[in-house]
Structure 1
């Protein structure tokens, strides 16, 4: 087996063995939030899902502005994850460790994880900070 394959396998196994715990806060009546949680679990994350009516307070406490807001807020290893961010982007965030507060998918775009409705919209995952810098595109999901 080539060395590069062994190294890649080791990284994949280490992620699976030390699955980061994501603390998710969502409204108790939101079905798409549970679907997003399933998406994270399928990607190897351990999820601690809190369903409560205080999600807005969590957003405010962690600097999620109305422009970035979606239906659920998650916390993982010091980062804030807002909305339907794909698991692959969270994995990349945790591997690269950029100097940002977190990632957000504002709103609830169709076709994003947890929002598989048959319709698929273009959307961007934004990296955001808690200072005056505007959010920047972390990744984009564009339809052909």
Structure 2
């Protein structure tokens, strides 16, 4: 098989895997070198309502591109659950709310960057102010705000 065909085959397999994960059980895509992702997962896995498959990736940008995560909202890990995309350190209660309410025009939730004090990014009693944002065909809007402390 030529190298071009191998690349096309790999891309097709990747697209199929990420599409299937979107409709099936939750799947987390993460860089293997990132430790906060698994810490976040431990804190929110009850909200995901099923065992989570963890996939280590060397090209997280390709996953985020495929799932339509806006550049300004990107973080370290991407989770596909219940037909939604969860980007970064989104708190469990916001994921549960999204899965319960199923708002129209929302493709997913995101916490941009890696704010101190967000789930998986705990540092003592400190917390940066941050927002959980929606994104999708309905645009971007604030879904929840967390104050600094």
Q: TM-score, normalised on structure 1? A: 0.79
Secondary structure class of the residue paired with 1:140: strand
Between the aligned partners of 2:136 and 2:108, the Cα distance in structure 1 is: 7
Residues 1:124 and 2:128 are matched in the alignment: no
Residues 1:104 and 2:106 are matched in the alignment: no
Question: Contact (CA 8 Å) 1:63, 1:130: kept in 2 or not?
Answer: no
Secondary structure class of the residue paired with 2:133: strand
Q: Which aligned pairs between 1:47-62 and structure 2 lie closer than 5 A?
A: 47-62=52-67
Structure 2 alignment gaps of length 5 or more: 1-23
Structure 1 alignment gaps of length 5 or more: 1-19
Deviation at 1:41, TM superposition (A): 2.5
Aligned residue pairs, count: 123
**Cα separation, partners in 2 of 1:60 and 1:52, compared to 1, 3 Å:** same
Between the aligned partners of 2:85 and 2:47, the Cα distance in structure 1 is: 18
Which 4+ stretches in 1 moved above 3 angstroms?
42-45
> Could you tell me which residue of structure 2 aligns to residue 36 of structure 1?
40
Question: Contact (CA 8 Å) 1:40, 1:47: kept in 2 or not?
Answer: no
Q: TM-score, normalised on structure 2? A: 0.76
Higher strand share: 1
